[in-house]
Amino acid sequence: MSKTLFTVSALGFLLAGGMGVAQAAPDWGKVPSKKITVFYPGVSPMEWVTKGVEHGGARALKKGETCAGCHDEETADMGKKIVSGEKIEPHPIKGKAGSIPVTVQAAYDATNVYLRFQWKDPAASGGEKMDKDNSVKLAVMLEGNKVDMADQVGCWATCHQDARTMPSAKDDKKTKYVTGGSLASGKFYDLIQFRSGKGAKPMDGYVADKRVMEGGKALVSADGKKAGDNWTVVFTRKLAGGDGDIAMQAGKAYNFGFAIHDDHTAGRYHHVSLGYTLGLDAKADITAVKQ
């Protein structure tokens, strides 16, 4: 079996907060896991999600229900239908996987929270290499219960029909954003990203009135390893917050979602999760256990 190791900020993984104190990684064998299937979303921005004429779940959202509550068990079927071009995708990529099952685990200690993702890399589609430097990227968004509808729609609150890679976009610089978002108000998503390219550094930013990929201080490391066709990516993130970083603490739950760009894709051509919750020894879809 061939093995490829991508290590980003390996020293940071061993040192908690740069204080020179060795920080042991979690014993993942003692951490519960949850299987989450990320799927290809096509052109389904927030405006589509909330428009009842096109999306039948819009009525359920108005009643306070969540996307995951309706679709958690059918994401693979949704992705298969969308990736084929049958629904809400005007430019399908031939051979692209409709979904990817991912095993997710979370743990924390007095200083950091650790997030681990494992999945089997889908077969390459042979499509355009949009990001030639990175065959895989994995992004995580965390939200502190302040963005409107974040607890229902997850990361979709940052995805809009006027974003630059959407078919109807008129501004090629328009990125993800939160309506009414700002760091001052606390209405933002904390964003961290692993990149597989040789020497590529991880991204630590946020999405408020626009997406910013740098400036965060909470991310300690983002390490990825590929063994055969199987990927393992581990994020180590400080609990403490700062500008663009939400502060996390035991007994609390946060809105959580993630996305994988496989096969050198970029922009909206990714696989995304529905919105879930991440709790630190708190009731949530994914519970980070203390070690």
pLDDT in tens, 90-118: 999 999 999 999 999 999 999 999 999 99
Instruction: State the residue range of the domain holding 245.
Output: 3-15+36-290
Position 25 scores a pLDDT of 83
Whether residue 284 is contained in a domain is answered as: yes
Rounded to whole angstroms, how far apart are CA atoms 242 and 250?
17
Task: Look up the CATH number of the domain holding residue 174.
Answer: 2.60.40.1190
Whether residue 70 is contained in a domain is answered as: yes
Rounded to whole angstroms, how far apart are CA atoms 253 and 207?
19
Please list the ranges in the chain whose pLDDT falls under 70. 1-23
Whether residue 25 is contained in a domain is answered as: no
CB of 85 within 8 A of CB of 260? no
Whether residue 20 is contained in a domain is answered as: no
Whether residue 267 is contained in a domain is answered as: yes
Rounded to whole angstroms, how far apart are CA atoms 206 and 188?
7
Structure tokens at 232: 């393992």
Whether residue 108 is contained in a domain is answered as: yes
Position 23 scores a pLDDT of 61
Count structural domains, the chain.
1
Whether residue 30 is contained in a domain is answered as: no
Whether residue 28 is contained in a domain is answered as: no
Q: What is the pLDDT of residues 199-248, one digit of tens each?
A: 999 999 999 999 999 999 999 999 999 999 999 999 999 999 889 999 99
